[in-house]
Structure 1
Amino acid sequence: MKFTKYTTAILVGLLLLAAGGLVSGLYAGLLRLGFSAPVTAYPVSPVAHGPLMINGFLGTLIGVERAAALDKKWAYAAPVFIALSTLLMLTGYQQPGRWLMMLGSIGLTGVMIYLYYLQPKIYHLIMAAGAASLAVGNTAFLFHYPVYVFVAWWAAFPMLTIFGERLELNRIMRPPEKARKLFGLLIFLWILALVTTHVDRDAGWRLASLLLMVIAAWLIRYDVARRTIKAAGWTRYSAISLLTGYGWLIAGGLFGIWRGFPTAGPIYDALLHMIFVGFVFSMIFAHASVIIPSLSGKLVAYHNYFYLPLILLHLFLVFRVMGDLAWWPAVRKAGSYGNIVAILLFLGGIAVRLITTTAASRRETAARVLETVNNP
Structure 2
Amino acid sequence: MNKVPTSVLVGLLILAAVGLLAGLYSGLVRLGLLSFATPLVSPIAHGPLMINGFLGTLIGLERAAALEKKWAYAAPVFLAASTILLLIGFPGPSNGALILGSVGLTFVMGYLYYLQPKIYHLIMALGAFSLLVGNLLFVAGTPIYSIVGWWAAFPMLTIFGERLELNRIMRPPKQAQHIFTMLILGWLASLSITHIDHTIGWRIASLLLIGIAGWLIKYDIARKTIKSVEWTKYSAICLLTGYGWLILAGLFGLRYDLPTAGPIYDGLLHMLFVGFVFSMIFAHASVIIPSLSGKLVPWHTYFYLPLILLHSFLLIRIAGDMMGLHQVRIIGSYGNVAAIILFLGGIMYQLTKEIFSQKSESISTKTQS
Q: Which category of TM-score, normalised to the shorter sequence, fits these structures?
A: over 0.9
Q: Say if 2:119 and 2:181, in contact at 8 Å, map to a contact too.
A: yes
Q: Does 2:211 match 1:176?
A: no
Q: Say if 1:95 and 1:142, in contact at 8 Å, map to a contact too.
A: no
Whole-Å Cα distance in 1 between the matches of residues 300 and 6 of structure 2?
Answer: 26
Q: Say if 1:77 and 1:107, in contact at 8 Å, map to a contact too.
A: yes
Offset at residue 2 of structure 1 (A)? 7.9
Letter of the aligned partner of 2:16 in structure 1?
A
Q: Does 2:121 match 1:98?
A: no
Q: Hey, what does 2:368 align to over in structure 1?
A: 371
Whole-Å Cα distance in 2 between the matches of residues 276 and 180 of structure 1?
Answer: 25
Q: Hey, what does 2:55 align to over in structure 1?
A: 58
Cα deviation 1:123-159 (Å, max 9, x = unaligned) = 0000000000000010011111111111110010000
Q: Does 2:258 match 1:261?
A: yes
Whole-Å Cα distance in 2 between the matches of residues 50 and 32 of structure 1?
Answer: 11
Q: Hey, what does 1:76 align to over in structure 2?
A: 73
Offset at residue 299 of structure 1 (A)? 0.2
Letter of the aligned partner of 1:145 in structure 2?
T
Whole-Å Cα distance in 2 between the matches of residues 360 and 221 of structure 1?
Answer: 41
Q: Say if 2:2 and 2:69, in contact at 8 Å, map to a contact too.
A: no
Which of 230, 246, 254 is matched with 1:249 structurally? 246
Q: Hey, what does 1:288 align to over in structure 2?
A: 285
Whole-Å Cα distance in 2 between the matches of residues 24 and 244 of structure 1?
Answer: 26
Q: Hey, what does 1:117 align to over in structure 2?
A: 114
Whole-Å Cα distance in 2 between the matches of residues 276 and 7 of structure 1?
Answer: 32
Q: Say if 1:234 and 1:289, in contact at 8 Å, map to a contact too.
A: yes
* Helix, strand or coil at the partner of 1:171: helix
Whole-Å Cα distance in 1 between the matches of residues 205 and 137 of structure 2?
Answer: 20
Offset at residue 78 of structure 1 (A)? 0.6
Unaligned runs of 5+ in 2: none
Q: Hey, what does 2:20 align to over in structure 1?
A: 22
Q: Hey, what does 1:213 align to over in structure 2?
A: 210
Offset at residue 261 of structure 1 (A)? 0.9
Cα RMSD of the aligned pairs, angstroms, is 1.2
Q: Say if 2:29 and 2:39, in contact at 8 Å, map to a contact too.
A: no
Offset at residue 93 of structure 1 (A)? 0.6
Q: Hey, what does 2:32 align to over in structure 1?
A: 34
Whole-Å Cα distance in 1 between the matches of residues 79 and 31 of structure 2?
Answer: 26
Q: Hey, what does 1:335 align to over in structure 2?
A: 332
Letter of the aligned partner of 1:363 in structure 2?
S
Whole-Å Cα distance in 1 between the matches of residues 254 and 5 of structure 2?
Answer: 46
Q: Hey, what does 1:275 align to over in structure 2?
A: 272
Structure 1 stretches (4+) deviating beyond 3 angstroms?
none
Whole-Å Cα distance in 1 between the matches of residues 307 and 262 of structure 2?
Answer: 27
Offset at residue 37 of structure 1 (A)? 6.0
* Helix, strand or coil at the partner of 1:35: coil
Offset at residue 199 of structure 1 (A)? 1.1
Offset at residue 7 of structure 1 (A)? 2.3
Whole-Å Cα distance in 1 between the matches of residues 57 and 28 of structure 2?
Answer: 22
Cα deviation 1:173-203 (Å, max 9, x = unaligned) = 1111111111111111111111111111111
Q: Say if 2:242 and 2:277, in contact at 8 Å, map to a contact too.
A: yes
Q: Hey, what does 1:320 align to over in structure 2?
A: 317
State TM-score, norm by structure 2.
0.98
Aligned-pair identity in percent equals 64
Q: Say if 2:206 and 2:249, in contact at 8 Å, map to a contact too.
A: yes
